[in-house]
Amino acid sequence: MQTLELKQPKSIAEAVRLAAADSEARLLAGGQTLLPALRLGLAVPGALIDLSGLEELRGIRADSRQLTIGAMCRHSEVASSAEIGKRLPALARLAGGIGDRQVRNLGTLGGSIANSDPAADYPAAVLALGASVQTSSRTIPADGFFTGLFSTALRPGELITSVSFPFADQAGYVKFPQPASHFALVGVFVARFGKQVRVAVTGAGAHVMRVPSLEHSLAQRFAPEACDGVKVGSEGLNSDLHGSAAYRAQLIPRLARAAVQQALG
């Protein structure tokens, strides 16, 4: 039987030191990905570094430009936050649609984006809103954070501490969920900042991605009809038992249309 040492740091600095000292250790946030992997034998770390006691990683703060959310904030906290509901309602709706109640009560923002699951919801918000990921050593812009399948720009031992989401003039998120897991078969987050529009898609490729053709069309006219007729190529998109690459390509502009409609209220 595999034995695991559980380490419970008292500060971010201690957590970083523990991670740097043991390359085989894994950071434990909400555990919604790591714990099932342990049960299946897909992950065999020698130690777990439990972040649950670090109050520094919690909290939701707002200033005149952005919302900053601690990495250990649960999905349910984001979904129920009055501040987020008022300032970035699309983000609150996104969090409220993640998994089931148990997942939302345990899963964390930092754990979700660090895992970079190709069908996770939060990466779409991070990328579409042009968020900044603050770590224990630097700030990483959203456009450079997600690098591949379950891969990010995080360095070994680097710890996400918070994510800052700029306020959009209008934003919306709509996904076509896989019925059992509630992961996005395809999910589209649309955000307008003045004349600039950012469109991020999750579930369709190896990792979250932007769609320049939709961004250009919506920048010309921010209306649902601007998505009609926009062609999205299927090359490089996921194809599995839930849907072909061509099917996902067809879904993207349709979900973008619905996201714009949601953003417009």
Could you report the per-residue pLDDT of 41-58, keeping only the tens digit for each? 777 788 899 999 999 999
What range does the domain containing 183 cover? 170-264
Residue 257 belongs to a domain with what CATH number?
A: 3.30.390.50
Q: Which of 174, 164, 91 is nearest to 131 (CA)?
A: 164
Could you report the per-residue pLDDT of 74-94, keeping only the tens digit for each? 999 999 999 999 999 999 999
% of the chain with per-residue pLDDT over 70: 99
Residues 31, 153, single domain; the answer is yes
Residues 160, 190, single domain; the answer is no
Residues 193, 139, single domain; the answer is no
Domain boundary among 115, 148, 166: 166
The Cα-based distances of 32 to 47, 143, 180 in angstroms read: 17, 25, 15
Residues 141, 93, single domain; the answer is yes
Could you report the per-residue pLDDT of 7-37, keeping only the tens digit for each? 999 999 999 999 999 988 899 999 888 888 8
Per-residue pLDDT, 37: 80
From its phi and psi, is residue 263 left (phi > 0), alpha (psi between -120 and 50) or beta?
alpha
Average pLDDT over residues 60-80: 98
Report the range of poorest mean pLDDT among 4-13, 215-224, 244-253. Answer: 4-13
% of the chain with per-residue pLDDT over 90: 88
Residue 150 belongs to a domain with what CATH number?
A: 3.30.465.10
Residues 158, 231, single domain; the answer is no
Locate 134 and state its tokens: 């603050």
Domain boundary among 132, 166, 200: 166
| pTM score, whole prediction | 0.95
Residues 122, 192, single domain; the answer is no
Residues 24, 122, single domain; the answer is yes
112 pLDDT higher than 70: yes
Alpha carbon distance 188, 157 (integer Å)? 31
Residues 25, 130, single domain; the answer is yes
What are the φ/ψ torsions at residue 76 (nearest 5 degrees)?
A: -65, -35
The Cα-based distances of 90 to 78, 103, 129, 190 in angstroms read: 11, 19, 10, 9
Give the number of domains in the chain.
Answer: 2
